Amino acid sequence: MRPLVAMYGCYIKVKLKQLYAMCLYTKYLLNKKYLPTRKNGYNPPTCNDERLKYVPIKCGKCMECRKQKKREWYIRLAEELKKHKGALFLTLTFNEDMYEEVRKAVNAGIRPTYEEENDMCRYAIRHWLELIRKRTGKSVKHWVITEKGEDYNRIHMHGIVWCSKEDVDAWRYGYTYIGDYVNGKTINYITKYMLKINENCPEFEGKIFCSQGIGRGYEKSTNARRNRYQGERTIETYKTEDGRELPMPKYYHDKIYSEEEREKLWIIKQERGYRYIGGEKCSTEDLEEWDNLTRYYQRRGVEVFGDRPDEWEKDMQRKRLERMRMARRRMREGSGVPGVLSRPEGREPAAPIINKATRG
């Protein structure tokens, strides 16, 4: 089956895609709010509205999800930049000696795995930031992502940091490259690393290390007034400086709307009678059309964007085993690398859109 949107112009296609793209592997799970959990003292409220029984959970891996996450960071970094100018764009590398030193410091194997290499980056970043903090007494706001180089597969990092060039010089693990005019283009460029797949190592996933609360405060800004809850007329989009409308980052959505409002918005969306798959409008009453479109775009994700749905679950299990192995080795050798940076997993969890209680 051929998607309808091809009939409209490119412009519409792109715009719709951006606004309504949704995970192609969405799972509908029981809403934990209405299940006995520790949070509700094993005494859940009764679910009076069957429409709230299930919540959509994103896979976090498919191209649509990755684009969505990229846009969320783009918006949050742009908001941060509005408030705090003077950020630096950074590339941080390891030289051979330091690579070796850090490898030993985190007890990685002779030929570190991707997980171990990300761990090495986490270690180096943490020590570098700690050094600056000791000297200046301030913690550096940062957003850094790891990448494998195209030519030599060397691990390195790109990031945006709010600190001085002297602070950057405190990086003692290798070369640094500094770009000192950070604007929307820079943020767009840097968050694009989240979408990049290195053909030499398609399983490698760039890890994000960042300060907590990047972009905090939008929800209280005058721009956020257009987003206030107004029942069916609620505008749930974020408007960029140049007037483009983008989906609201979950980070802000959760701050702007109360749990009750989020439930109401979810019901409103369900009652609209349509939803979007790969940017195409599809009736919620027609499950066959939905199924066909989903499969069409899943195939397209595999062919065009390198989605590897069969591998994602395996990758995750492999990663968890790997982390357990690393933890055992650290315990044995008594050189535990302490809890690192702000968030142990390094990035926002792919969470359902309804309420915090349902976070996995």
Interacting residue ranges for Zn ion, rule: CB under 5 A: 23, 25, 58-59, 62, 65
Instruction: Give first-to-last CA distance, the chain, whole Å.
Output: 35
Contact 156, 92 (CB under 8 A): yes
Of the pair 26, 176, the CB lying nearest Zn ion is at: 26
Q: How far is the CB of 321 from Zn ion (least distance, A)?
A: 23
Q: How far is the CB of 249 from Zn ion (least distance, A)?
A: 16
Q: How far is the CB of 286 from Zn ion (least distance, A)?
A: 22
Structure tokens at 197: 């797949």
Of the pair 62, 92, the CB lying nearest Zn ion is at: 62
Q: How far is the CB of 187 from Zn ion (least distance, A)?
A: 23
CA dist., res. 127 & res. 20, Å (int): 41
Q: How far is the CB of 63 from Zn ion (least distance, A)?
A: 8
Sequence-ordered strand ranges (E) for 15-100:
27-30, 54-57, 88-92
Structure tokens at 179: 């770009």
Residue 188 DSSP code: H
Of the pair 23, 214, the CB lying nearest Zn ion is at: 23
Which residue, 86, 309, 276, is CA-closest to 183? 86
Q: How far is the CB of 307 from Zn ion (least distance, A)?
A: 9
Of the pair 105, 353, the CB lying nearest Zn ion is at: 353
Of the pair 159, 279, the CB lying nearest Zn ion is at: 279
Q: How far is the CB of 298 from Zn ion (least distance, A)?
A: 10
Residue 163 DSSP code: S
CA dist., res. 108 & res. 66, Å (int): 28
Of the pair 62, 125, the CB lying nearest Zn ion is at: 62
Of the pair 59, 75, the CB lying nearest Zn ion is at: 59
CA dist., res. 94 & res. 53, Å (int): 50
Which residue, 109, 63, 142, is CA-closest to 303? 63
Cα maximum dimension of the chain: 63
Of the pair 229, 305, the CB lying nearest Zn ion is at: 305
Which residue, 107, 97, 155, is CA-closest to 337? 107
Contact 237, 19 (CB under 8 A): yes
**How do 245-247 and 237-239 pair as beta strands?**
antiparallel
DSSP secondary structure string, 42-75?
T-PPP---GGGSEEEE--S-SHHHHHHHHHHHHH
Which residue, 254, 278, 355, is CA-closest to 68? 278
Q: How far is the CB of 75 from Zn ion (least distance, A)?
A: 19
